Structure formats: structure tokens, C-alpha cells
């Protein structure tokens, strides 16, 4: 595991450009993730852009990986093929790159689901890894490699999520109580809750709340936090429970109603 993986994962989930900095590894990658549709038997070509921000030439290795989204929303990458892996459908243009200082490289990859593939979601990661490890100094000197994982979701055919609220609760997070919606996905593709709902806390304060930008994978139930929307430059408000929340949360063209009381 490398020192850049945690920050890279946060960027994947928050839709910010992926960045990584270590000796021999100084890259910006856009977009941070792909959410595309594919047709069985037809190649789907996509491009990601790698910008090398180092002062020397950057040497990179590129490869695909399977991944697991853990209960704590961290990601575990795997070089081994998962039983249902779609990585054999994926072709990348090359496996090693040399990028000049400050230059950008448009890296192409292609997904070709076999003819007759039933509706499903193809999920994998494109890993960009620096070939020159950084040397971490201390009581022991050891090399640390840098890499970034770009998550790809490809919906095959009419694959789609089917989200529903399985429950609501209050959870301690960072020393504070937080409203949580447990979201179940009965579909065959990942989904994300979006939109805004209205909240009134025990002090009578009113908030607009938004769900965390987390993928809910097919067949799983995931805890999605609801947090107050904070304007730029202003501190986050303190929510005093119990909290009453009303409104609708959206996923794609669909929505789920929410009218509940969150109490510790």
C-alpha cells in the first residue's frame, strides 16, 4: 500500500482531480472517475489526461486493477482477477510512459463487452504508478511508491441502479452525531444519492442538507451521511439532535422521499 492511496481515494469519491506527489511521482489526472455506458460487441473508447508536474521527466507504469469498496468507504485494489472481473474486456494503449516536465499525456483505453453480454456493470480501476520510488528517511530507510487509481464504471446494456432507503439512524462521526441514511441497491449498476433536503434541529435552526457522494454498489446497503450545506468561507453549523428531515433525495431521474426524525 502506498502513501498516496488514501488521498487519491478521497478525490475519487469527491469528484476532484486526482493528484499525487512523491519523489519521481508528481501527477494530476482527470477525470477522477468514469461513468459510461457500453453496448455488447461494440468497443467504447475513452481518454484520461495525465499531467506530469515534476521538474524531471516522469516515468510511469499503467495497468488495470479490480477493487473493493469497504464498509469504511476505503478502497482495496487487487492485481488478481475477481471471479466476475471484466478486466479481460479492457485494452490500454501502453503500459509504460515517459512524460516531460509540465507536459500532459492523453492516455487512451477501450472497453469491449463480448457480444451477448447480459445487462451488468463493468467496474475496474486504471492504475497510474510512478516507477521511481521515494525514499522515506527515519530510523529505517525504505522506498515508498506512488500510485493513483482512476475508477471506471461501465453500464452494459440497460444496467441501472434501483435505490431504496432501508433505514435511518444517528451515528457518531468525528466526535459528533451525524444523520445517516442506509441505502440499499437492488439494481445491477451502482447509484449515488443526490439533491437536497430540509432539516430543523432541536434548537429550531433550519438547515439544507445533502448526502455524501458515495457509490452504492449492486446488492449492497451503504451508510450515507446527511450533512448541512456550508457556504464558502462560513463554518459548518452545529446540529442539535433530534433533527427532523423532509424532502426528496434523487438518483438519476428517480427520487426517494425522506420524512423522518433523527434522534440519538
**pLDDT one-digit tens code per residue, 142-155:** 444 588 999 999 99
- Please report, rounded to a whole number, the percentage of residues in the chain having pLDDT higher than 90: 73
The cell 466476475 sits on which residue?
A: 84
Look up residue 160 and give its three cell numbers. 441501472
**Which burial class, exposed, middle or buried, applies to 158 when counting CB atoms under 10 A from its CB (0-12, 13-18, 19+)?**
exposed
Average pLDDT score over residue span 227-245: 91
Cα-flanking dihedrals φ and ψ of residue 9, to 5°? -60, -45
Average pLDDT over residues 57-69: 94
Tell me what the pLDDT averaged over the chain comes to.
87
What pLDDT band is residue 233 in, cutting at 50, 70 and 90? confident
The set of cell numbers assigned to 79 is 492485481
3-state secondary structure of 7: helix
How far lies 121's CA from each of 67, 213, 255, in Å?
14, 19, 21
Of 18-32, 129-143, 179-193, 207-221, the one with minimum mean pLDDT is 129-143
Distance from C-alpha of 128 to C-alpha of 64, rounded to nearest angstrom: 9
pLDDT at 147: 87
Amino acid at each position: 500500500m502506498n502513501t498516496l492511496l488514501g488521498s487519491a481515494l478521497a478525490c475519487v469519491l469527491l469528484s476532484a482531480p486526482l493528484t499525487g506527489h512523491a519523489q519521481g511521482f508528481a501527477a494530476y489526472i482527470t477525470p477522477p472517475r468514469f461513468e459510461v455506458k457500453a453496448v455488447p460487441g461494440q468497443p467504447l473508447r475513452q481518454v484520461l489526461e495525465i499531467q506530469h508536474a515534476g521538474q524531471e521527466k516522469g516515468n510511469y507504469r499503467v495497468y488495470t486493477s479490480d477493487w473493493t469498496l469497504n464498509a469504511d468507504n476505503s478502497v482495496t485494489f487487487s492485481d488478481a482477477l475477481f471471479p466476475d472481473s471484466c478486466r479481460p474486456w479492457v485494452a490500454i494503449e501502453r503500459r509504460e510512459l515517459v512524460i516531460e516536465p509540465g507536459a500532459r499525456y492523453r492516455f487512451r483505453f477501450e472497453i469491449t463487452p463480448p457480444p451477448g453480454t447480459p445487462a451488468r456493470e463493468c467496474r475496474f480501476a486504471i492504475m497510474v504508478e510512478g516507477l521511481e520510488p521515494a525514499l522515506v528517511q527515519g530510523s529505517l530507510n525504505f522506498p515508498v511508491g506512488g500510485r493513483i487509481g482512476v475508477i471506471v464504471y461501465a453500464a452494459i446494456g440497460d444496467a441501472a441502479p434501483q435505490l431504496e432507503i432501508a433505514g435511518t439512524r444517528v451515528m457518531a462521526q468525528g466526535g459528533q452525531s451525524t444523520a445517516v441514511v442506509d441505502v440499499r441497491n437492488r439494481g445491477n449498476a451502482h447509484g449515488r444519492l443526490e439533491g437536497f433536503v430540509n432539516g430543523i434541529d432541536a434548537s429550531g435552526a433550519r438547515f439544507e442538507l445533502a448526502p455524501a457522494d458515495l457509490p452504492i454498489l449492486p446488492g449492497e446497503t451503504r451508510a450515507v451521511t446527511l450533512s448541512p450545506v456550508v457556504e464558502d468561507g462560513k463554518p459548518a453549523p452545529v446540529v442539535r439532535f433530534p433533527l427532523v428531515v423532509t424532502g426528496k433525495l434523487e438518483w438519476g431521474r428517480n427520487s426517494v422521499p425522506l420524512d423522518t426524525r433523527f434522534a440519538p
